[in-house]
Structure 1
Amino acid sequence: MEITITLPESHQPMTIRELLENEWLVPRKVRHFLRTRKNVWLNGEPALFHYEAAAGDQITLLFEETDYSYQPVQLGNPQIINVLYEDEHLIIVDKPVSMKTHPNEPTETATLLNHLAAYLAQKEQRPYVVHRLDKETSGAVLFAKNPFILPILGRMLEQKKIYRRYQAIVWGKLSKDVTITDKIGRDRHDRRKRVVDPRNGQPAITHVQVAEVSADKTKVYCVLDTGRTHQIRVHLAYQGHPIVGDPLYQTKPTKRLMLHALELHMTHPFTQEKIIAKALPGLW
């Protein structure tokens, strides 16, 4: 695998070692291999780790197949993939409702990761999971296309540098915007579920914006400061406004969970390009 990156104009000068270790989060073992094999090039010439790189410089890294591990998945149907954004390093796709993000068993073939693996196999590339959506939730999901960028995207997610906006329809009338801060923990009686747990739960923050109010439902937009399992679903249900169609947190039968990952915004870590991916939620 060969990765070539041109440092953007805003990039501050730093050594190759600092770039690999602190900015690109290359694991220590892989950095060792890059150094001993002399597999780092600066502007087309072999480079040592103490060389300085600045804005406009071109860095090329050569990786061996064994430098990074990959868990193979069964190939699904590439025709299912709806691409919202794609470049050589990452891809954002629109996940259909009632589809798992990734398999839990090696024999599974019908998850989003299976279908994306088939799509990328045509380009001799592989998908790596950055984050996930619940099976019942549709919308924008980000994947890495190589293991080099994977930890960088993971750090961006942790540092809230990847903005995700959700659309939901809830039961009842919500009269004003609200920020929900109740802690979330596991349900001791049902392993599938999460509950508000003020004592033992993990911190969770959901910002809810009211969009439209009808006779018995409200359309809202949600932005998360944290990424707990079922966070939006648990928080809204605890407020007395469960999401329409939620099979776990409400009892009224409907066709689907009305929760959709509407937008994903981020700044590309290599090019500094502003990326805005939108997954339209259909008629609702």
Structure 2
Amino acid sequence: MKFMITLPVDSPDKTIKELLEVEWLVPRKVRHFIRTRKGILVNGETRHFQELVHGGDEITLLIEDSDYPARTIHIGNKNLVEVLYEDEHLIVVNKPAGMKTHPNQPEEADTLLNHVAAYLAPEVEPHVVHRLDKETSGAILFAKNPFVLPILGRMLEQKDIYRRYQAVVHGKMTKDITINKKIGRDRHDRRKRRIDPKNGKPAVTHVTIAQPQGQNTAVFCQLDTGRTHQIRVHLASLGHPLVGDPLYSKNPKGRLMLHAYELHLVHPFTKEKIAVTATPGLW
């Protein structure tokens, strides 16, 4: 693999070691390989790890396939992929409801990851950055190489990737609310999660009223955390489960009314602002 990345002109000076280790999170073993085979060029010239790089410099990284563990992804159907954004390092696609994000068993070949792999084959293999529940539709981000994957993972942990969801809940909600309740596993049903103030993990969901829909309410949800079933569990805990929820609603009918409508981030290399909307959404 060969990556050519031009540092933004306003980037502060730093050593190559700092760039690879601190900013780009290149694993120690891979940094060692790059250093020993002189696999980094600055403006076309070989440089040592203690030398400085500056804004506007063009960084070329030469990475061998063996530097990162090989994976096997069964190829799916590229025609099932709706691309919302794509560049050399990232791809955002619109996941249909009823499709799993990634395989749980090695032989599976009908998940979104399999289909994105088919779309990118044969040169590129996708990597999952975050997931959506099988029943949830909308924008989902994949890395197109293992080099950018840990950077996106850190951005997700540090809340530098903005995600806003559309949802329709049972009942009439009349005011915006922030739900701050810990979520843990349900001891009686391994598929489910529950509010667990003592042993659960922190979870914060911001809910904004969009519009009434008969006896239901359309809302937007913004996540500060990414717990499994977070929106579904939080809204059910208020007595407003999502319409169509097969796990947390007593009378589910139709599809789960949850859609990842918007995804915003600053590109980890170019610092370009990327804003993606997965239309048409739920309303």
- Does TM-score exceed 0.5, indicating one fold? yes
**Can you give the 5+ residue segments of structure 2 that lack an aligned partner in the other structure?**
none
Matched residue, 2:258: 259
Normalised TM-score (structure 2): 0.98
> 1:252, 1:15 → 2: CA distance?
59
Matched residue, 2:214: 215
Q: How many residues align?
A: 283
Aligned residue type for 1:142: L
Q: C-alpha deviations, 1:168-227, integer Å up to 9, x for none?
A: 000000010000001100000000000001111111100000010133100000001111
SS at match of 2:194: strand
**Can you give the 5+ residue segments of structure 1 that lack an aligned partner in the other structure?**
none
Structure 1 residue 71: Cα displacement: 1.9
Structure 1 residue 283: Cα displacement: 5.6
> Does 2:182 correspond to 1:191?
no
Q: C-alpha deviations, 1:93-113, integer Å up to 9, x for none?
A: 000000000001111111000
Structure 1 residue 280: Cα displacement: 1.3
> Does 2:83 correspond to 1:50?
no
> 2:280, 2:22 → 1: CA distance?
38
SS at match of 1:74: coil
Matched residue, 1:6: 6
Indicate if the aligned counterparts of 1:139 and 1:281 stay in contact, CA closer than 8 A: no
Indicate if the aligned counterparts of 1:260 and 1:281 stay in contact, CA closer than 8 A: no
Indicate if the aligned counterparts of 1:99 and 1:111 stay in contact, CA closer than 8 A: yes
Matched residue, 1:15: 15
SS at match of 2:65: coil
Matched residue, 1:82: 82
Q: Choose 206-215 or 110-119, whichever is displaced more.
A: 206-215
Indicate if the aligned counterparts of 1:101 and 1:135 stay in contact, CA closer than 8 A: yes
Matched residue, 1:107: 107
Matched residue, 1:155: 154
> 1:117, 1:78 → 2: CA distance?
8
Structure 1 residue 254: Cα displacement: 1.5
Q: Aligned-pair RMSD on alpha carbons?
A: 0.9
> 2:60, 2:263 → 1: CA distance?
29
Aligned residue type for 1:212: Q
Moved segments of 4+, more than 2 Å: 281-284
Aligned residue type for 1:146: N
> 2:257, 2:250 → 1: CA distance?
14
SS at match of 1:71: coil
Indicate if the aligned counterparts of 2:236 and 2:248 stay in contact, CA closer than 8 A: yes
Matched residue, 1:120: 120
Q: C-alpha deviations, 1:28-79, integer Å up to 9, x for none?
A: 0000000000011010011110111000000001011110013211000001
> 2:70, 2:129 → 1: CA distance?
14
Aligned residue type for 1:203: P
Q: Report the CA distance shift for 1:108/1:145 in structure 2 as closer, same or farther (over 3 A).
A: same
> 1:215, 1:67 → 2: CA distance?
56
SS at match of 1:66: helix
Structure 1 residue 282: Cα displacement: 4.3
Matched residue, 1:142: 141
Normalised TM-score (structure 1): 0.98
> 2:150, 2:250 → 1: CA distance?
40
Matched residue, 1:69: 69
> 1:227, 1:282 → 2: CA distance?
21
Counterparts of 1:224-235 in structure 2, within 5 Å, are: 224-235=223-234
